[in-house]
C-alpha cells in the first residue's frame, strides 16, 4: 500500500516530487495534477503540530523465538492525545515497543 496517491486519478506509482524545505510539490505523471505535501509532523488525532519526536523499536526473531531490535523508526507523540505514553517514553529513555510483534503462521 502506498503512502500517497493522486487525489484526482488514484495513481500511486508515477508521481514526481520536488522538495523545498518542509514542502514537497508533487506532480502526477498520469493526469498532470500538481499539489503540495507538507512534511511538518502533526498529530493524526487532533491535528496539532506541537508533537514530540520519539523512537519506536522494530523487532524481528533473531534466534528461535528470541526477539531483537533490528532498527528503529521515528514517530511523533502528541502531548495532548498521548500524554501517558509521552511521559513514559521521556522517563524510560528507551524506545517505544513495536505496535505488533512478529509471529510464525504455523
Contacts of 80 (CB under 8 A, 6+ apart): 43, 46, 48, 50
Contacts of 88 (CB under 8 A, 6+ apart): none
Model-wide pTM > 0.75:
no
| pLDDT (0 to 100) of residue 1 | 39
Of 28, 31, 5, 3, residue with least CA distance to 17? 28
- Cβ density class 41-71: b for 16+ within 10 Å, e for less: bebeeeeeeebeebebbebeeeeeeeeeeee
| pLDDT (0 to 100) of residue 90 | 95
Low-confidence ranges of the chain (pLDDT < 50): 1
Amino acid at each position: 500500500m502506498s503512502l500517497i496517491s493522486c487525489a484526482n486519478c488514484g495513481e500511486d506509482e508515477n508521481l514526481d516530487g520536488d522538495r523545498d524545505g518542509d514542502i514537497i510539490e508533487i506532480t502526477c505523471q498520469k493526469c498532470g495534477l500538481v499539489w503540495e505535501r507538507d512534511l511538518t509532523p502533526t498529530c493524526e488525532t487532533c491535528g496539532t503540530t506541537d508533537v514530540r519526536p520519539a523512537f519506536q523499536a522494530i523487532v524481528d526473531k533473531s534466534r528461535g523465538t528470541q526477539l531483537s531490535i533490528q532498527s528503529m523508526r521515528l514517530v511523533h507523540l502528541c502531548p495532548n492525545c498521548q500524554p501517558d505514553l509521552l511521559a513514559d517514553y521521556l522517563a524510560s529513555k528507551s524506545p517505544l515497543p513495536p505496535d505488533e510483534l512478529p509471529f510464525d503462521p504455523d
